[in-house]
Amino acid sequence: MTAPTDALAAAVDAEDAAIFTYGVSTAYVSTARRSMVAEYVAAHRVRRNELVAALTAAGATAPQAAAGYILPVDVDDSVTAVQALLAAEVDCTVAYRALIEQSEDATARRTGLDGLTESSVRAANWRVALRESPVTVPFPGRAG
């Protein structure tokens, strides 16, 4: 693989992990947030499928989703569920920022920018739910 296809594959992995995290968290989020969770996981599936198509078009093989993922917190209530969802979105922003940085192709860079933007907005919404301040971060996707 090349750096751009590695970045696409990493974004697929981040999306698969986010989809898994949303699946686990659905059981714990409040009823009021379930429609938001459904909307967000659907967006992750669309984005993941777009990334897989881009990898296939580049002649690379997309990574398979793992059977399970280690969550950053033990999810056992609505607060820890939202914390896990926030972490998944932040992980996606890191993957998309790397995709933007490592791609020379305009379409891949646009995919990275769109993914970064969408994940940043979802992360901000989860920070609002957790009553964190600030709800946005400068330079989303910057590791560390």
pLDDT, tens only, 40-54: 999 999 999 999 999
Cα distance between residue 30 and residue 82, in whole Å = 10
Tell me how far apart the alpha carbons of residues 5 and 28 are, in angstroms, rounded to a whole number.
35
pLDDT at 16 over 80: yes
Tokens 């891949």 label which residue?
108
| Burial of residue 88 (number of CB atoms within 10 Å: 0-12, 13-18, 19+) | buried
Supply the angle between the helices 3-26 and 106-130 in degrees, to the nearest 10.
Answer: 30
Its pTM stands at 0.94
Give the model's pLDDT for residue 3. Answer: 77
Q: In this predicted structure, what is the pLDDT of residue 134?
A: 93
